[in-house]
Every structure is written in structure tokens, then in C-alpha cells.
């Protein structure tokens, strides 16, 4: 069976370096907010070409803390509305509601699965104070249009870059387009820790300082608390793991792009709708390779019989989740609902071999 994602194989490639990094942390005797986190933050700055990176405990907390910081600064008030794509992973929506804000779900563009300028425009009201753009499946949203629109309309712009490390428009990567961005280093993400991890990037120094306090009990100096913060620190062990893996991230993205190219060139089946490859290779880092089928159950069964494990991202849209029954039960998003009924993800791990890619292609084509 070709597994959908073999995280053990991914990390085995760097086993010696990871063990050495773990040994370094163990022997240092310092496990929270030390040299590893500092070094990772600085290395991530260089890689992302951003001014500030703040290591956070996970991606959801990263997004939530940005909203909390804006509330602390008086730029947002609890109850303000935030635009978010209706077809995102639920964590994006959870970050908004956890900060006491109101998500305004917007249908995505069907070709890219991301927010479009048209979609954002159509959802605009005077209540909207911010946009949470999600670079879904690893493809960057049209930030060259969304960022100017947000600044012209005084909207705060937060990027959910949990799936899109390195996706760029004209060499400018996600993480630097908005007022801030949240990254996830969950083990299955393109840059994955060996546990939970996340980061916030931003350009503004004062904002970075505020985030550093909010992740650490609202404190800059031990036992002096100026904000009602929380504990959302990235730990030294995960920072050390991430420092090893960050060095290979661009290589991995290229491996993913090569697999996506081959899938798109060689898969040919009327019953399967392929993703659209952007003209600029940098725009997509292929966190997921998502196809669509009107006969999804039969397709997954067929793939499994042919030795290929597929997954669904995601089977239930946020507005259909029980968790949001009160808020969203009356809402309908036909395109989002159709997407959730039809999507299937093919394996696109950087560790799968040429032979395995050929097996996946043959299996799709014989459906
Ligand atoms: C994974 C993910 C998150 C949350 O990140 P965690 O580190 O798992 O908390 C947020 N948004 C999107 C789009 C994600 O895929």
C-alpha cells in the first residue's frame, strides 16, 4: 500500500541530524524559550524574508494570538466581523471565535479553492474589520490583489499559512503580505515538527513585542504581567527539530511540485477533475494534491484496491459542523458544500518514489 503520508519516512531522512539536535537540547538543561527558539526565529526570518518570527505552540494558537493582540491594541473589538473562506480547515474559524470575533464565511474561487477579490468585495459590510485569508492546500491566495484592497479599506489582513510554507507570488512568500501570518508546524504540514509547533510572522516591531508577551503569560519580564496573556510558547526541543528540517524545506517543495506536474501531465480520466497548476511554479507548494470526483466513495475504494491510500480534506465544511450549529445552521454555501462532497487527496509526500507516482497515475487512469 502506498500510504497517503509516511511521516516516519519523511523524518528518517534526517534521523542523525534530529538525534544530534535532540541531544543538544537535552544536554543544555534549558527547555523553554532559549537559544533554539531564538535561532529558529532568526533562521525562519531569513528563509521567509520577514522582519519578525515568533515561535508559538501550534498554528491555531498563532492565529488566535494575532486576533488577541489586535484586540489588545484596540484595532479590533470583541464582536467585530472577520471574513474567512467557507471551505477552510476548521482551525481558521476556531481562531476567530476563540478571540470573541464573528466569522463571516465567504465562498472560495472554484479554480484555486482560495478567496478571490470578487468574493471578499461581495461580502463587505461596515461590520467587517479584518480578513483571514487561507492559502489552502499549499496555493497562495491572490495577495497582490487582496493586500492592496485591505489596506485601501482599512481592513486588518491575517494570513493562515499553515499549509503553504514557501508559496509565493513573484518571489514574495506568504507570511509577508498581510499585517501578520500564522504558520503551523504540525507533523503532517510541509514543515513539520516532531510534535506541535507554530509561528507568527509580522513586519512591525511593536507588534512582535506584544505577541512575545502574549505567548508568555502577558509578560516581558519574569513575574511582571502587563497583559492577560496565555502560555503558547514553542519549546526548545521542537525548535531544534525545526531548525534541522527548515534546511530541506525548499528541496521538499520542489519534490512536491515535480509530483504534481507528473500527476497533471499523466492523469487523464473524465471522472476525475484535476487541480489547476498555476503558471508560476512558486505559487504552489502542494501541501495537498486535491482532485474531485462525483463518485468519491467508489474512487477511494478503487484506489485502495490498487494499493493507494487516499484521504479527504475535508469531509465536513465548518458551517456544517455540530460545533457551529448555533452560529451557522441556517447558512448555505452551495459551492463549498459541493467541494466537500467531491474532494479526494492523492499521496504527494516528498518521499514517494517515481514507481509509486506511476502506480498512483495508473490507478487513477483505470478508474
Ligand atoms: C493545520 C491548520 C491549522 C492549525 O494548525 P495546528 O498547528 O494544527 O493548530 C490552521 N489552519 C489551517 C488551514 C491548517 O491546515
Residues 310 and 350 in one domain: yes
55, 87, 89, 290, best to mutate for ligand 1 pocket (most atoms within 8 Å of CB): 89
Q: Give, rounded to a whole angstrom, the gap between the first and last alpha carbons of the chain.
A: 17
Cell of 221: 519580564
Tell me the C-alpha distance between 156 and 84, whole Å: 12
Atom of ligand 1 nearest to the CA of 92: 11
DSSP 135-158: -GGGBPP-HHHHHHHHHHTT-EEE
Residue 191 shares a structural domain with residue 202: yes
For 289-311, the pLDDT digits (tens) are: 999 999 999 999 999 999 999 99
Range of the domain at 256: 249-365
How far apart (Å, rounded) are the C-alpha atoms in residues 100 and 97?
5
Domain boundary among 211, 246, 281: 246
Residue 305 sits in a domain whose CATH number is: 3.90.1150.10
What pLDDT score was predicted for residue 315?
96
> In this structure, is residue 344 part of a structural domain?
yes
The C-alpha angle with vertex 181 and arms to 244 and 95, in degrees rounded to 5, equals 110
Residue 105 forms beta bridges with which residues? 84
Cell 490507478, residue located: 363
Atom of ligand 1 nearest to the CA of 185: 7
Q: What pLDDT score does 221 carry?
A: 93
Of the candidates 39, 66, 108, the residue with the CA atom closest to the CA atom of residue 318? 108
C-alpha grid cell, residue 130: 479584518
Kind of pairing, strands 52-56 and 198-202?
Answer: antiparallel
In short, whether 59's Cβ falls inside 6 Å of ligand 1 is yes
Length of the chain (residues): 367
Q: What pLDDT, on a 0 to 100 scale, did the predictor assign at position 13?
A: 98
Plot region of 117 (φ>0 → left; ψ -120 to 50 → alpha; else → beta): alpha
**Last residue of one domain, picked from the residues 246, 270, 289:** 246
Q: What's the pLDDT score for residue 356?
A: 98
Boundary (domain end) residue, out of 246, 280, 302: 246
What sign results for the dihedral spanned by CA atoms 19, 60, 169, 49? negative
Helices and strands in the chain, H and E counts: 14, 13
Q: Are both 184 and 282 inside the same structural domain?
A: no
Q: What does the buried/exposed string (b/e) look like for 30-69 if buried means 16 or more CB atoms within 10 Å of the residue's CB? A: eeebbebbeebbebbeebbebebbbbbbbbbbbbbbbbbb
Cell numbers representing residue 93 in the block: 474559524
Whether 2 is in a domain gets the answer: no
pLDDT at residue 151, rounded to an integer:
98
144 neighbors 150 (Cβ within 8 angstroms): no
- Cβ burial of 302 (10 Å; 0-12, 13-18, 19+) is middle
Q: 156-160 and 128-134: which strand pairing?
A: parallel
Atom 1, ligand 1: which residue's CA is nearest? Answer: 162
> How much is the pLDDT for 235?
98
| Residue 85 belongs to domain with CATH number | 3.40.640.10
Q: What is the atom index within ligand 1 of the atom nearest the CA of 61?
A: 9
220-268 pLDDT, tens digit each: 999 999 999 999 999 999 999 999 999 999 999 999 999 999 999 999 9
Pick from 95, 184, 196, 238 the residue to mutate for probing ligand 1's pocket: most ligand atoms within 8 Å of its CB: 184
pLDDT of residue 185: 98
This prediction has a pTM of 0.98
pLDDT attached to residue 328: 96
Q: Do 14 and 96 fall within a single domain?
A: yes
Domain co-membership, 153 together with 93: yes
**DSSP H helices in the chain:** 7-12, 15-28, 35-48, 59-72, 90-98, 117-123, 143-152, 205-214, 236-246, 249-266, 296-305, 325-328, 334-342, 354-365
pLDDT computed for residue 252 by the predictor: 98
Domain count, the chain: 2
pLDDT in tens, the chain (367 residues): 999 999 999 999 999 999 999 999 999 999 999 999 999 999 999 999 999 999 999 999 999 999 999 999 999 999 999 999 999 999 999 999 999 999 999 999 999 999 999 999 999 999 999 999 999 999 999 999 999 999 999 999 999 999 999 999 999 999 999 999 999 999 999 999 999 999 999 999 999 999 999 999 999 999 999 999 999 999 999 999 999 999 999 999 999 999 999 999 999 999 999 999 999 999 999 999 999 999 999 999 999 999 999 999 999 999 999 999 999 989 999 999 999 999 999 999 999 999 999 999 999 999 9
Query: What is residue 322's predicted lDDT score, i.e. its pLDDT?
Result: 97
Its sign, for the CA torsion 121, 64, 94, 168, is positive
Confidence (pLDDT) at 286? 98
Domain shared by 228 and 270, yes or no:
no
From the CB of 184, is ligand 1 less than 6 Å away? Answer: yes
Q: How many CB atoms lie within 10 A of CB 297?
A: 9
**84 in the same domain as 230:** yes
Assess whether 224 and 210 both reside in one domain. yes
The per-residue pLDDT for 271 is: 97
Amino acid at each position: 500500500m502506498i500510504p497517503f503520508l509516511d511521516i516516519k519516512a519523511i523524518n528518517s531522512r534526517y534521523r542523525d541530524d534530529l538525534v544530534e539536535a535532540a541531544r543538544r537540547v537535552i544536554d543544555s538543561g534549558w527547555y523553554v524559550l532559549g537559544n533554539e527558539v531564538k535561532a529558529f526565529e532568526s533562521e525562519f526570518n531569513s528563509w521567509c524574508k520577514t522582519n519578525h518570527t515568533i515561535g508559538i505552540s501550534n498554528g491555531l494558537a498563532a492565529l488566535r494570538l494575532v486576533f488577541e493582540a489586535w484586540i489588545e491594541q484596540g484595532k479590533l473589538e470583541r464582536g467585530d466581523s472577520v471574513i474567512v473562506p467557507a471551505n477552510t480547515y476548521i482551525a481558521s474559524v476556531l481562531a476567530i471565535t476563540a478571540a470573541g470575533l464573528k466569522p463571516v464565511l465567504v465562498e472560495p474561487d472554484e479554480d484555486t479553492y482560495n478567496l478571490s477579490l470578487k468574493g471578499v468585495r461581495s461580502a463587505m459590510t461596515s461590520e467587517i474589520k479584518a480578513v483571514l485569508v487561507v492559502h489552502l492546500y499549499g496555493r497562495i491566495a491572490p495577495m497582490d490583489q487582496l493586500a492592496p484592497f485591505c489596506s485601501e479599506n482599512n481592513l486588518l489582513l491575517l494570513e493562515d499559512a499553515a499549509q503553504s510554507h514557501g508559496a509565493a507570488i513573484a518571489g514574495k512568500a506568504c507570511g509577508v503580505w498581510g499585517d501578520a501570518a500564522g504558520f503551523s508546524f504540525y507533523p503532517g504540514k510541509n514543515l513539520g515538527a516532531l510534535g506541535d509547533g507554530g509561528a507568527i510572522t509580522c513586519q512591525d516591531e511593536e507588534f512582535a513585542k506584544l505577541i512575545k508577551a502574549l505567548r508568555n503569560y502577558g509578560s516581558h519580564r519574569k513575574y511582571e504581567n502587563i497583559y492577560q496573556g496565555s502560555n503558547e510558547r514553542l519549546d526548545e526541543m521542537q525548535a531544534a527539530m525545526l531548525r534541522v528540517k527548515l534546511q530541506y524545506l525548499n528541496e521538499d517543495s520542489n519534490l512536491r511540485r515535480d509530483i504534481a506536474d507528473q500527476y497533471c501531465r499523466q492523469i487523464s480520466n473524465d471522472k476525475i477533475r484535476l487541480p489547476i497548476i498555476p503558471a508560476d511554479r512558486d505559487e504552489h507548494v502542494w501541501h495537498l494534491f486535491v482532485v474531485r470526483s462525483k463518485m468519491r466513495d467508489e474512487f477511494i475504494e478503487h484506489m485502495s484496491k490498487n494499493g493507494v491510500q487516499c484521504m479527504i480534506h475535508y469531509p465536513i465544511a465548518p458551517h456544517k459542523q455540530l460545533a457551529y450549529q448555533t452560529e451557522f445552521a441556517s447558512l448555505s454555501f452551495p459551492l463549498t458544500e459541493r467541494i466537500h462532497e467531491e474532494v479526494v487527496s492523492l499521496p504527494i509526500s516528498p518521499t514517494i518514489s517515481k514507481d509509486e507516482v506511476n502506480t498512483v497515475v495508473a490507478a487513477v487512469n483505470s478508474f
